[in-house]
Amino acid sequence: MKLTAEHLGLPARNPLGLKDWYVNVLGAKLVFENGETPPAFFVGLGDGLMLEIYQSESSLPDTSRNSLAGFRHLALQVDSIEEAKAVLEKKGVSFTEVIKPAAGGGRVLFFNDGEANLLHLVERPQGSIFRR
């Protein structure tokens, strides 16, 4: 059996606003829009993974806590954390933590999207089994 990650579901309080955040801040590409109410969108990230952004029914205040059970963060691999951080800061992203060592080697820097979902930049050294 061959498995390929296609998309990750991301329920949102404001699907249109969160779609716009991913497009405007991370440069995601709009792949599909259902044209209905409530709206649903598929946005593609650089490596082919898509996010399906759709209307949530409720939310939890601790969504951005990395230790909460369930899928907790989306890791975005970059060549340089400092360069990516500078670009994102110009687009209004705030970073409240410092760069930390990454499990498996390299470095990570956490931040939140427009609805406080947890993301992080990850920089892997040359030769790392995780480097893409």
Quick one: pLDDT at residue 66?
Answer: 80
Please name the residues in contact with 74: beta carbons below 8 A apart, sequence gap of 6 or more. 8, 51, 117, 118, 119, 120
Residues 53, 117, single domain; the answer is no
49-100 pLDDT, tens digit per residue, is 999 999 999 888 777 788 877 778 899 999 999 999 999 999 999 999 999 9
Q: Are 76 and 122 members of one domain? A: yes
Q: Which of 42, 57, 72 is the last residue of a domain?
A: 57
Calculate the average pLDDT of the chain.
Answer: 91
Same domain, 11 and 52: yes
Same-domain pairing of 91 and 47: no
Please check whether residues 27 and 86 belong to one and the same domain: no
**How many domains does the structure of the chain reveal?**
2
Same domain, 31 and 71: no
User: d(Cα 24, Cα 115) in Å, to the nearest integer?
Assistant: 14
Range of the domain at 40: 1-57
Stated as kind and residue range, the H or E segment containing 32 is strand 29-33
Q: Write the CA distances from 21 to 43, 46, 52, 103, 132, integer angstroms.
A: 11, 15, 13, 28, 25
Q: What is the pLDDT of residue 76?
A: 93
**Under 8 Å between Cβ of 15 and 53:** yes
Q: How confident is the model at residue 110 (pLDDT cuts 50, 70, 90)?
A: very high
Kindly report whether the peptide bond that precedes residue 38 is cis, defined as omega within 30 degrees of 0: yes
Q: Note whether 80 and 32 are same-domain residues.
A: no
Same domain, 44 and 95: no
Report helix, strand or coil for 82: helix
- 77 and 109: one domain? yes
Closest among 28, 32, 30, 31 to 47, alpha carbons compared: 28
**CATH number of the domain within which 2 lies:** 3.10.180.10
How far apart CA 52 and CA 39 sit, in angstroms, is 11
